[in-house]
Amino acid sequence: MNEQLGIGIDLGATNIKGVLINTEGHVLEQETCVTQEQREGSGWQAAVADLVKKLKKKSTYPVTAIGLSAPGIPNETNTGIAFMPGRLQGLENLIWSALLEEKAVSVLNDANAALLAEACFGAGKGIQNFIMLTLGTGVGGSIMINGALYQGFGQMAGHFGHITVDANDKNQGITGMVGSLEDAIGDATVSKRSHGKYSSTKALAKAYKAGDTFATYLWLDAVRKLAVGLSSLCNTLSPEMIVLGGGMAKAETALMNP
């Protein structure tokens, strides 16, 4: 009996990651390439197609499913990304099944894909109601209710990075909200928040661990805003669990202890 295999693609602004995977969640093969977003569409689209072909060639069985995660808001049928302004030109309304020459390609927001992975194979396995936040360049989020992914009206549910944690902040995020959680802790704003002293969350966390006074202020301010945001989400959704992923989560005790 042939084993059922699938291909998973994670499309990011920096890298494209692909895996050949079985139904138990075991990764059989991996491929990674640079996104080359600056090539305005054709470059990164061709890179995804080539990556899928490479994984298929490495498979000893036919691939029966392809899933793709990407930033942005998917369309109602989860066949493409309907809305992603300012990044990955050519992503919006791209017909993935046509590009990859497949009958069907399931497309999810990247944070939703991360939550489903945790629900099937990771920290959320067996948990019926939980939320996930991905703490990276920005802040993504996703919601599991009664064992099912909740995407909400217009597929917009779970964008926790755009909740307000500082109503007095004058800066507006991409949704127009002031003082967003994404602006408070996202990797993209570290240089701005530190007046150019630190270029990344990793560098800021390292300085905090070393006892730098300015870094300590910045780090603990961001962590406090994250904690307030998480507490507010608990009051709103009453989840059994919160799962944190992304680069900031790698700070481990520097994040969890405060």
pLDDT in tens, 140-182: 999 999 999 999 998 889 999 999 999 999 888 878 899 999 9
Q: Which residues, listed in sequence order, are joined to residue 182 by a DSSP beta bridge? A: none
CA-based nearest residue to 49, from 26, 16, 72, 80? 16
CA–CA gap between residue 71 and residue 140 (Å, rounded): 9
Closest CA to 140 of 119, 111, 99, 168: 111
- What does the pLDDT profile of the chain (258 residues) look like in tens digits? 568 899 999 998 778 999 999 988 899 999 999 886 555 556 889 999 999 999 999 998 889 999 999 988 999 899 999 998 777 888 999 999 999 999 899 999 999 999 999 999 899 999 999 999 999 888 999 999 999 999 999 888 999 999 999 999 988 887 889 999 999 999 999 999 999 999 999 999 999 999 999 999 999 999 999 999 999 999 999 999 999 998 899 999 999 999
CA distances for 56 relative to 66, 169, 172, 223, 229, angstroms:
11, 49, 44, 42, 42
Cα 113 to Cα 106: distance, rounded to the nearest angstrom = 10
The closest alpha carbon to 140, from 115, 167, 116, belongs to 115
pLDDT of residue 37: 57
Q: How much is the pLDDT for 183?
A: 95
| β-pair type (63-70, 106-109) | parallel
Task: State the alpha helices, DSSP H only, in the chain.
Answer: 42-58, 96-99, 110-121, 181-185, 190-193, 201-209, 213-237, 253-256
Residue type, 227: A
Q: Quote the CA–CA distance of 252 and 135 in Å, as a whole number.
A: 12
pLDDT the model gives residue 86: 72
Torsion of CA 231, 237, 243, 247, to 10 degrees: -60
Q: What is the 3-state secondary structure of 109-143? A: EHHHHHHHHHHHHCCCCCCCCEEEEEECCCEEEEE
Instruction: Write down the pLDDT at residue 41.
Output: 53
Question: Token pair 């990276």 is at which residue?
Answer: 136
Q: Report DSSP letters for 167-190, one per residue.
A: TT---B-TTS-BSBHHHHH-GGGH
pLDDT of 89: 85
